[in-house]
């Protein structure tokens, strides 16, 4: 075949594909080779000739018949114009093609590791050895998935509608994945059919290694294999020195404690599982020990909360002025270092505080978004700034102070940008975590974007977006509570949010600027169908792919945030025990493209603070228990607590009203008469003790129009 192609080359004047790839965009080139895919990937065809690969796409201006006549295994010659489509070099339009032979055997996919992928082999097919899908469930069409190899390198896999892969289970065991190396704003691997997902071994991890506990001198990890297997636990310190290589006796499920470690220190841990004839390696995971000091967490809101839901704890503030003051105080009390990764800023007072700190000799480093104004940086301040992620968003919002000093190390993070409207007008939250290990973790993420560990950035080494690695630990302990930390897009943050939602046993509440993730919406719908309370507020209900209408139609109690002030939160609340918060909107862009940071806080006191915030925002909105989309004119809200029904509302009537408390199926539980007095906004009715749940209250004032609204029972 190669000899045949050489004869064709002499006749047609084409050039080798690798040489064609080096020509300028817009050049017309002629190539010959073997086609490695058919219409399972659409109308595009990938072509290889032994020197390289190049796809041909019959775009506007192409000669007819290409997609219908060219199949996998064809030997062809193609002439077309070099074109860059979102990072993929291709021929389009196609100005001529000839099919020389059909049924030719395509080249055997060479074995490769994910770390070997580079531009020179784009367009070729390869077999990626022993990779693991990070998602679970069934494959969907027109969707991206993430694979990871045992070196910790990841890549995106794209499944197109119409492939026979769609609807089949995502492999939970390692596979050898055969795929064409393509690109779409980054590397994208394209398997063609189910035959391209090849089981790697009869022994595999059913649960990869995961950290389940930590203290200042040890970490606890677990893993499970499908068959009983012995294991070797390999622990490396941050410098790559192997500290322990422990043999674990044969079993399917293992829990292992690694002790005699240093506090607030990161270790790279891997398990090698073995049984006769089989050996597999787990992914390498970074794990952290706890800080020597217990640490603390404080919560800040810039808008009011509903203290009728308070369980003995209050936020530090509900004032934007106080949030700004807390940030300024954090900057002013820094003794050694201040690192900031902030999407947008226009508050000069913050920059002035950073200037003062910098002039005092404190190291100040600032990562800003290239995609927004950052108007206060004109003229540039004296401290160094690196602008990052010019094709997606550097959307982080975090400040790290004195990370190397155990008793001072702090992280200030949440949903708030440092602009006037964000600080004062738009509902936002911030969490101040004083913890050495967590501050070091955020510093590692910061320095990956910064490109160095020094005072000045190294742009050539800076990594943003899809170029970043999952190189941080994910479990910490602050003041006795577990805190999970994730950074997008390297850490599969959406998977962790999904796990939390799927674990809910009583309730889910959320307040989100943007919500476009189908899987998160499906998880909530399933919970509602199982009888759980799910309530949410969404600001951008008209986003492309918004889940708002889907949730409404499925019976989820979700509301459009209608007040003028933009709801900028990105938080979820699970079972009044767990808070998910940070910069991460519940969207594909946040999970797969943007630089984002997320905390999952397992602390009932912190959760109660967010519950108070949620109920305040919920209480500002018209609440309908009627058909989705039907407008409610309710201005009332309420809560049941300690055998009393508290009602709050704007009332302008002197009238006797009938108040009925119903369950969620509309069955009356309590009915009483209440005398409404014009101007009185608070009423308390004694009622029988009700089980913890949510109920619907109906207020019918004589022959006037009545209202219905949802209330909780608070213990």
Q: Cα(189)–Cα(183) distance, rounded to whole angstroms?
A: 8
Contacts of 552 (CB under 8 A, 6+ apart): 558, 628, 629
**What are the contacts of 38-42 at 24+ separation with CB within 8 A?**
38/71, 38/72, 38/192, 39/67, 39/71, 39/162, 40/160, 40/162, 40/163, 40/164, 40/192, 40/193, 41/160, 41/163, 41/180, 41/190, 41/192, 42/67, 42/160
C-alpha distances (whole Å) from 259 to each of 166, 256, 447 are 45, 10, 28
Measured CA angle at 427 (ends 355, 605), to 5 deg: 95
C-alpha distances (whole Å) from 409 to each of 167, 263, 330, 449, 548 are 48, 14, 11, 20, 40
Active-site entry in 237, 322, 543, 575: 575
Helix (H, G, I), strand (E, B) or coil at 422: helix
C-alpha distances (whole Å) from 183 to each of 121, 156, 193, 208, 451 are 11, 10, 19, 29, 24
Q: Cα(586)–Cα(602) distance, rounded to whole angstroms?
A: 19
Q: Cα(286)–Cα(666) distance, rounded to whole angstroms?
A: 51
Is 570 a known active-site residue?
A: yes
Phi-psi region of 333 (alpha: psi -120 to 50; beta: other; left: phi over 0): alpha
Distance of alpha carbon 256 from its chain centroid, rounded? Answer: 29
Contact 547, 516 (CB under 8 A): yes
Query: Would you list the DSSP string of 120-142?
Result: GGTT-EEEEEEEEES--SB--SS
Alpha-carbon torsion, ordered 146, 147, 148, 150, to 10 deg: 170
Is 561 a known active-site residue?
A: no
Active-site entry in 468, 527, 568, 602: 568
C-alpha distances (whole Å) from 596 to each of 181, 426, 492, 579, 586 are 27, 19, 11, 17, 11
Distance of alpha carbon 299 from its chain centroid, rounded? Answer: 22
Active-site entry in 570, 576, 602, 603: 570
Phi-psi region of 455 (alpha: psi -120 to 50; beta: other; left: phi over 0): alpha
Q: How many CB atoms lie within 10 A of CB 548?
A: 23
Contacts of 119 (CB under 8 A, 6+ apart): none
Class of residue 691 by CB neighbours under 10 A (exposed 0-12, middle 13-18, buried 19+) = exposed
Is 102 a known active-site residue?
A: no
Q: Cα(17)–Cα(304) distance, rounded to whole angstroms?
A: 63
Annotated active-site positions, please?
Answer: 568, 570, 575
């Amino acid at each position: 075949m190669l000899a045949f192609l050489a004869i064709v080359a002499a006749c047609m004047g084409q050039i080798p594909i690798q040489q064609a790839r080096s020509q300028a965009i817009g050049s017309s080139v002629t190539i010959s080779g073997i086609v490695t895919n058919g219409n399972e990937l659409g109308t595009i065809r990938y072509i290889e000739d032994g020197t390289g690969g190049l796809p041909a796409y019959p775009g506007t201006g192409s000669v007819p018949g290409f997609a219908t006549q060219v199949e996998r295994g064809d030997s062809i010659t193609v002439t077309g114009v070099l074109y860059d489509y979102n990072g993929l070099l291709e021929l389009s339009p196609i100005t001529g093609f000839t099919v020389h032979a059909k049924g030719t055997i395509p080249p055997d996919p060479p074995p490769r590791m994910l770390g070997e992928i580079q531009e020179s082999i784009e367009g070729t097919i390869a077999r990626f050895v022993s990779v693991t899908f990070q998602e679970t469930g069934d494959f969907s069409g027109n969707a991206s998935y993430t694979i990871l190899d045992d070196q910790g390198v990841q890549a995106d896999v794209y499944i197109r509608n119409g492939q026979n892969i769609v609807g089949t289970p995502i492999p939970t065991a390692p596979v050898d994945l055969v795929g064409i190396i393509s690109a779409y704003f980054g590397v994208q691997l394209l398997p063609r059919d189910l035959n391209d997902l090849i089981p790697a071994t009869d022994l595999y991890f059913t649960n990869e290694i995961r950290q389940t506990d930590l203290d200042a001198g040890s970490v606890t990890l677990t893993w499970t294999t499908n068959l009983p297997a012995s294991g070797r636990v390999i622990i490396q310190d941050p410098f790559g020195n192997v500290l322990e290589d422990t043999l674990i006796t044969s079993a399917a499920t293992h829990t292992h404690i690694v002790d005699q470690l240093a506090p607030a220190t990161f270790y790279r841990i891997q398990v090698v599982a073995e049984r006769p004839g089989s050996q597999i390696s787990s992914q390498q995971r970074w794990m952290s020990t706890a800080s020597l000091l217990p640490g603390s967490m404080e919560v800040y809101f810039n808008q009011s909360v509903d203290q009728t839901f308070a369980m003995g704890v209050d936020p530090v503030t509900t004032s934007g002025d106080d949030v700004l003051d807390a940030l300024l105080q954090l900057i002013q009390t820094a003794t050694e270092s201040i690192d900031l990764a902030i999407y947008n800023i226009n508050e000069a007072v913050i920059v002035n505080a950073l200037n003062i700190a910098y002039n005092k000799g404190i190291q100040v480093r600032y990562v800003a978004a290239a995609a927004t104004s950052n108007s206060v940086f004109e003229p540039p301040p004296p401290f160094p700034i690196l602008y990052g992620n010019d094709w997606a968003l550097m959307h982080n919002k975090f400040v790290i102070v004195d990370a190397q000093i155990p008793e001072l190390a702090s992280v200030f993070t949440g949903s708030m940008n440092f602009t006037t409207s964000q600080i004062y007008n738009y509902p936002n939250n911030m969490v101040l975590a004083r913890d050495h290990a967590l501050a070091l973790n955020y510093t590692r993420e910061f320095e990956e974007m910064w490109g160095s560990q020094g005072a000045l950035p190294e742009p050539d080494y800076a990594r943003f977006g899809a170029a970043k690695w999952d190189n941080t630990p994910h479990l910490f302990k602050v003041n006795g509570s577990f805190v999970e930390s994730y950074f997008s897009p390297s850490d599969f943050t959406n998977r962790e949010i999904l796990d939390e939602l799927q674990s809910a046993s009583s309730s889910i509440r959320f307040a989100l600027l943007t919500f476009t993730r189908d899987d998160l919406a499906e998880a909530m719908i399933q919970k509602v169908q199982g009888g759980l309370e799910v309530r949410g507020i969404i600001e951008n209900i008209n986003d492309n792919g918004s889940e708002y209408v889907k949730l409404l139609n499925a019976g989820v109690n979700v509301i459009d945030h209608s007040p003028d002030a933009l709801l900028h939160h990105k938080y979820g609340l699970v079972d009044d025990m767990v808070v998910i918060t940070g910069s991460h909107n519940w969207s594909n862009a946040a999970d797969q493209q943007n630089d984002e940071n997320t905390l999952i806080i397992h602390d009932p006191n912190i959760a109660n603070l967010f519950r108070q915030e949620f109920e305040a925002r919920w209480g500002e909105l018209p609440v309908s228990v009627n058909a989705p989309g039907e407008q409610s004119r309710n201005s009332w809200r309420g809560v049941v607590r300690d055998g009393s029904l508290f009602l709050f509302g704007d009332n302008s009537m002197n009238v006797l009203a009938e108040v009925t408390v119903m369950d969620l199926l509309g069955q009356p539980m309590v009915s009483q008469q209440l005398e409404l007095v014009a101007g009185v906004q608070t009423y308390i009715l004694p009622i029988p003790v009700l089980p913890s749940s949510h109920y619907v209250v109906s207020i019918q004032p004589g022959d006037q129009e009545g209202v219905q609204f949802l209330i909780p029972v608070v213990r």
